[in-house]
Homo-oligomer: A and B are copies of this chain.
């Protein structure tokens, strides 16, 4: 009696969130009005407040869900700490690229609209972002300690790799020159070399630059 299966509400809520995500990603949180979101769903603006307390919560929920999904999806995809760090790193690179490209709008939102969150909400999203970064950083530290990786700074390498991988979402087009799989192959090769042993002597003179 409290809940009817197949009710309209079960589908309208997700539809609002989908419309908001798409519009926020395309035009930015501040540039999209509740009336525009409502129109995209085919409803009056007032009806949105049956599903969300306010506009800010709509943004926060989208970002929060994305970060939680990201983290738990990686924890499910992680081949495990007993495997060699380079194996785990390869899994991470492939996972991050595929997961991000399949959720371009959510990824865009989650690092473009941080400044539109209230301080409290910002802190919660930041914590999740750091949690995800720590997953990668611990892989790099394991590789460092095991001697299979050579990185000048684990924290900076983490940030550099994530920036490099996430940047793909800003230019990748499914109908472009390269498929998602091919892009993942190429980026894995670059990432592998970034953390590889520092056998830089194979091109003489590069260090003797003024």
Q: Are B187 and A192 in contact (CB under 8 A)?
A: no
Q: Could you tell me which residues of chain A, from 141 to 160, have a CB within 8 Å of some CB in chain B?
A: 148, 151-153, 156-157, 159-160
Q: A84-B205, A193-B193 are in contact. Are A167 and B163 (CB under 8 A)?
A: yes
Determine the chain B residues whose CB is within 8 A of the CB of A27 once the complex forms: 30, 115-116
> Does A87 lie at the interface of the complex (its beta carbon under 8 Å from any beta carbon of B)?
yes
Q: How large is the interface on A (under 10, 10 to 19, 20 to 34, 35 or more residues)?
A: 35 or more
Q: Are B190 and A151 in contact (CB under 8 A)?
A: yes
> Does A171 lie at the interface of the complex (its beta carbon under 8 Å from any beta carbon of B)?
yes
- Shortest distance from the beta carbon of A27 to any chain B beta carbon, whole Å: 6
Determine the chain B residues whose CB is within 8 A of the CB of A47 once the complex forms: none
Please, which residue of chain B has its CB at the minimum distance from the CB of A26? Answer: B115
**Bound complex: CA A158 to CA B70 (Å):** 27
Determine the chain B residues whose CB is within 8 A of the CB of A183 once the complex forms: 156
- The majority secondary structure among interface residues of chain A is helix
Q: Are A197 and B203 in contact (CB under 8 A)?
A: yes
Q: Are A153 and B200 in contact (CB under 8 A)?
A: no
Q: Are B90 and A190 in contact (CB under 8 A)?
A: no
Determine the chain B residues whose CB is within 8 A of the CB of A206 once the complex forms: 84, 86-87, 90, 148, 192
Q: Are B186 and A156 in contact (CB under 8 A)?
A: yes
Q: Could you tell me which residues of chain A, from 48 to 88, have a CB within 8 Å of some CB in chain B?
A: 84, 86-87
> Does A202 lie at the interface of the complex (its beta carbon under 8 Å from any beta carbon of B)?
yes
Q: Are A157 and B190 in contact (CB under 8 A)?
A: yes
Determine the chain B residues whose CB is within 8 A of the CB of A112 once the complex forms: 112
B-binding residues in A (CB < 8 A): 26-31, 84, 86-87, 90-91, 111-112, 115-116, 148, 151-153, 156-157, 159-164, 166-168, 170-171, 178, 183, 185-187, 189-190, 192-200, 202-203, 205-206, 209
Q: A28-B30, A156-B190, A197-B202 are in contact. List 4 more A-B contacts (CB 8 A).
A: A26-B115, A27-B116, A84-B206, A86-B209
- Can you list 20 A-B pairs with a CB-CB distance of less than 8 A? A27-B115, A27-B116, A28-B29, A28-B115, A30-B31, A84-B206, A86-B206, A90-B209, A156-B183, A159-B168, A159-B171, A160-B167, A161-B164, A162-B167, A163-B163, A189-B198, A193-B193, A193-B195, A193-B200, A199-B199
